[in-house]
Structure 1
Amino acid sequence: MEVAQMRARLRQIHIDGHTFTWRAALHSVQVNGFYRRAVYVRAWGSGGKNGQKLEADLLSTPGPYVVDNGYPTPADVRAVIICGLKSGWRPEQRGGTFVLSDREHGADFAASGFQLADPVPPGESADTTHEAQQRG
């Protein structure tokens, strides 16, 4: 499988008076025989990289193949951060990583065009709870 990646740069977003730093990297994964756009999102709170990191792997909503390579919008990143905070992410805590996954947090995640995935290393196939439910 060919993996397309984009150089990740640090960006900032402000939510409820707090500043979060984030980055995202694009790639594609094969899900049930189809290629889908995937985005690795990483975020930190005001403690920077010394604080607890938030990780979320997003998949584009189901479709027959990857049709775009756009970067996630601020609204998408906001959805990741808010879901993380509501799920127990503590950005002020020193060290560690809080991982959002489809299996544990998918029902609480809402972003247009994306769904949470269980962590998928680039080049490997993915299977998500949403698709498992769709297959019946």
Structure 2
Amino acid sequence: MRARLRRIHIDGHTFTWRAALHTVQVNGFYRRAVHVRAWGPGGKTSQKLEADLLSAPGPYVVDNGYPTPADVRAVIVCGLKSGWQPEQRGGTFVLSDREHGANFAATGFQLTDPVRPGESGPTTHEARQRG
């Protein structure tokens, strides 16, 4: 089954996005992870934005909901503030907690360094919180 591409309008510009859900184990606990991709007005030929999000901290994955438009808006706005150039042709701009976490704010999610299913270990965000 193909992932559905969705559209969002921000400040007069149309962005196309999609998200893939999975879970990762972090310090022995399972967390919902979302891999978000977005493209600018040029579609898939424009520079792609990628971000990995983790659900808010908790002992178990309790939901499997898709990110809301507000969550995706937060990813895109963070990308734009951090130097993503959606009008540029080709390439990928990756958001990571280490480099861009200070510009990211979404309810229920935290930006993390890129993760893939099966990976584990503390995120940069969690390591900073511990000191």
TM-score range with shorter-chain normalisation?
over 0.9
d(CA) in 2 for partners of 1:21 and 1:84?
A: 14
Q: Does residue 1:44 correspond to 2:44, yes or no?
A: no
Consecutive aligned runs of 4 or more in structure 1 exceeding 3 Å deviation: none
Is the 2:112–2:125 contact (alpha carbons within 8 Å) kept by the matching residues of 1?
no
Among candidates 75, 90, 97, match of residue 102 of structure 1: 97
Q: Which residue type is aligned with residue 110 of structure 2?
A: Q
After TM superposition, give the deviation of residue 126 of structure 1 in Å.
Answer: 4.1
d(CA) in 2 for partners of 1:119 and 1:7?
A: 22
Is the 1:53–1:91 contact (alpha carbons within 8 Å) kept by the matching residues of 2?
yes
Q: Which residue type is aligned with residue 51 of structure 1?
A: S
Q: Which residue type is aligned with residue 82 of structure 1?
A: V
Aligned to 1:58: 53
Q: Does residue 1:19 correspond to 2:14, yes or no?
A: yes
Among candidates 81, 102, 123, match of residue 128 of structure 1: 123
Secondary structure, in 3 states, of the residue corresponding to 1:125? coil
Aligned to 2:80: 85
Secondary structure, in 3 states, of the residue corresponding to 1:23? strand
What is the TM-score with the length of structure 1 in the denominator? 0.92
- Measured on the aligned residues, the alpha-carbon RMSD in Å equals 1.3
Q: Which residue type is aligned with residue 49 of structure 1?
A: K
Secondary structure, in 3 states, of the residue corresponding to 2:63? coil
Query: What are structure 1's unaligned runs of at least 5 residues?
Result: 1-5
After TM superposition, give the deviation of residue 107 of structure 1 in Å.
Answer: 1.1
Q: Which residue type is aligned with residue 23 of structure 1?
A: R
d(CA) in 1 for partners of 2:62 and 2:37?
A: 23
d(CA) in 1 for partners of 2:121 and 2:67?
A: 20
